[in-house]
Amino acid sequence: MAREHIHATKLAILNATERLVAANGFEATSLRAITAAARVNLAAVNYHFATKDALILAMLNRRMKPLNEARLALLDGFEKEAGEKPVRIEKILEALFRPVVELIAQPAKGGRNFLRLLALCLAAPGAFLKPLVQQEFAEKNRRFHRALRRSLPQLSDVEVHWRLHFAQGAFFHAVAHSQVLEFSSSGRCRLTNCETVLQRIIKFCAAGLRSPT
């Protein structure tokens, strides 16, 4: 196999995994379903990834790490821009949300499938995923918590934690469970326009974050 072809098999498996797991969940997606969708041999999974768990981890990490890097880079940029002054709440929220929201329009980067995978990581992580959730969700929150502390000095440490948690939840639910919204609004609300969604969620959360104690 040419190097290009080696790459193709792994990529096909990763992409098929992403799509099927997003639709059905971790446990309910079998390797046989993945390999059939990827048009590769069943044993290719073990050859390239060793175990199913490792495959899922690889699938998640290939998106998760660059995504969080983008968020942190955006926040760093806004902080540098602000100089000595605290960053505006809206900017912090933008750093937190924009890289994720933009996935809506980027199927090549996981698109909405990845949004659903985020929800799965939170709701139904197997033991093998717990470390990733800690690392990519909880740890990264601390960075944003620190930034918010400077911008919301009137709030206690604990209060900022809680409000950041609420903001995260508002956001994750909005992007990962949009089918509920779509149904209850009889199709009037859809996850289609990144910028509109972003402005809406930022406005909602900024107001919540600023609400007096």
Contacts for 204 with CB less than 8 Å, ≥ 6 apart = 170
Span 1-20, contacts to a second copy by CB under 8 A: none
Interacting span for DNA (CB under 7 A) from 15-23, 30-38, 114-122, 177-185: 30-38
Residue among 171, 199, 174, 167 at smallest CA distance from 189: 174
d(C-alpha 159, C-alpha 56), whole Å: 35
Span 174-193, contacts to a second copy by CB under 8 A: 174, 176-177, 180-181, 183-185, 188-189
Tell me: does residue 124 bind a second copy (CB under 8 A).
Answer: yes
Per-residue interface string for the shown chain with a second copy, residues 140-159, x marking contact by CB under 8 A: -xx--x-----------xxx
10 vs 19 by CB, closer to a second copy: 19
d(C-alpha 88, C-alpha 85), whole Å: 9
What burial class does residue 93 get, using C-beta atoms within 10 Å of its C-beta: 0-12 exposed, 13-18 middle, 19+ buried?
buried
62 vs 149 by CB, closer to a second copy: 149
Contacts for 3 with CB less than 8 Å, ≥ 6 apart = none
Tokens of 53: 């768990």
Interacting span for DNA (CB under 7 A) from 49-57, 85-93, 150-158, 171-179: 49-57
44 vs 57 by CB, closer to a second copy: 57
Tell me: does residue 52 bind DNA (CB under 7 A).
Answer: yes
CB atoms within 10 A of CB 127: 7
Tell me: does residue 201 bind DNA (CB under 7 A).
Answer: no
d(C-alpha 135, C-alpha 28), whole Å: 25
Interface with a second copy (CB under 8 A)? 24-28, 116, 119-120, 122-124, 126, 133-134, 137-139, 141-142, 145, 157-159, 161-163, 165-174, 176-177, 180-181, 183-185, 188-189, 200-201, 203-211
